[in-house]
C-alpha cells in the first residue's frame, strides 16, 4: 500500500509542476489557446488534489509520521499558499480569440512567480523534511 501511495503522490507532484511550467510559459509570453489553458488547468488541478490527498493519506498510513509534524504542516500551508496564488493567475490568464500572447498585469505576474516560489519550497520540504 505504501509504495502505491508514494507513487501516486509523486506522480501528482509531477503533474502539479507540469501545470506550473505551462503557466510560466504563458507568463513569459507564450500564446494561450483554449486547449493549452485546459491542459494547464487539468495538470494543476489533478496534481494539486493528488498531492494533498495522497500526501495526507501517506502521513496517516506511516507510523513514523504524524499529521502534526512540522514538515507536514509546512507542506499543507505551502500547498494552500500555492493554490491561492494559482487561483488568481488562472482567473487572469484567458485565451485571446486570435491566440496571440497576452498582456498581463504586473500583479498577475507577481502572483504567478509567488506560486512558483511556494511550489519550489513545497518540493524542498518534501525532499528534505525539515523538523522530521
* pLDDT tens profile 68-118: 998 999 999 999 999 999 888 988 888 877 766 677 889 999 999 999 999
User: Residue 9 — φ and ψ, nearest 5°?
Assistant: -65, -45
**Grid cell digits, residue 57:** 493519506
Provide the whole-model pTM.
Answer: 0.89
Q: Which residues contact 74 (CB under 8 A, 6 or more apart)?
A: 125, 130, 131
Query: Residue 60 and residue 109: Cα distance in Å, rounded?
Result: 36
Query: Residue 70 and residue 16: Cα distance in Å, rounded?
Result: 22
Query: Residue 65 and residue 129: Cα distance in Å, rounded?
Result: 11
How high does pLDDT run on average in the chain? 91
Query: Residue 53 and residue 61: Cα distance in Å, rounded?
Result: 12
pLDDT confidence bin for 121, thresholds 50/70/90: very high
Residue 80: per-residue pLDDT = 95
Query: Residue 121 and residue 30: Cα distance in Å, rounded?
Result: 25
Amino acid at each position: 500500500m505504501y509504495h502505491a501511495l508514494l507513487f501516486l503522490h509523486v506522480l501528482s507532484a509531477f503533474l502539479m509542476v507540469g501545470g506550473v511550467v505551462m503557466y510560466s510559459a504563458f507568463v513569459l509570453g507564450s500564446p494561450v489557446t483554449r486547449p493549452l489553458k485546459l491542459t494547464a488547468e487539468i495538470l494543476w488541478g489533478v496534481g494539486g488534489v493528488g498531492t494533498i490527498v495522497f500526501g495526507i493519506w501517506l502521513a496517516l498510513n506511516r507510523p513514523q509520521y504524524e499529521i502534526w509534524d512540522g514538515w507536514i504542516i509546512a507542506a499543507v500551508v505551502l500547498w494552500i499558499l500555492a493554490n491561492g496564488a494559482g487561483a488568481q493567475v488562472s482567473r487572469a490568464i484567458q485565451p485571446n480569440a486570435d491566440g496571440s500572447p497576452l498582456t498581463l498585469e504586473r500583479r498577475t505576474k507577481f502572483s504567478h512567480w509567488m506560486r512558483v516560489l511556494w511550489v519550489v519550497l513545497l518540493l524542498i520540504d518534501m525532499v528534505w523534511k525539515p523538523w522530521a
